[in-house]
Structure 1
Amino acid sequence: MGLAIQATINGQGIAMTDITLIHQELKENKLLLPFSTAVPTGYSFYLVAPDTNHQHPAFTDFNN
């Protein structure tokens, strides 16, 4: 997400991100919100992996 935000600041396109990640950039007018509508996310994170990777340490750490 950080790379997408930086690319947007550099004028290389647009990005969808959590507004809390760009609070300072908005304050400094480095970025602007093109729409006044926000999309609620549900505050959840999911790790998606093939069935064969369920023993991977990243998967087990996330699941605990």
Structure 2
Amino acid sequence: MSKKRFIAGAVCPACQQQDTLRWWVENEVEKVECVACHHTDTRLPKSVEDSQHVAGTASEQVIGIFKPE
């Protein structure tokens, strides 16, 4: 598992609090969690997202992710 990083300026879609979201990658899946309300979102790898087999799944519920350079 990679190091968990906070997403500066991001607002939780569930509780609307700012600067409470943290992001990390686990088994090639991007994960976001709110430390205030424990709301979670995931993003599948691009190769899986492009597959027609998972169209319409939870990948549509993921918020944008900021990746520092």
Q: What range is the shorter-chain TM-score in? A: under 0.3
Larger Rg: 1
Higher helix share: 1
Task: Tell me the TM-score normalised to structure 1 length.
Answer: 0.23
Higher strand share: 2
Task: Tell me the TM-score normalised to structure 2 length.
Answer: 0.23
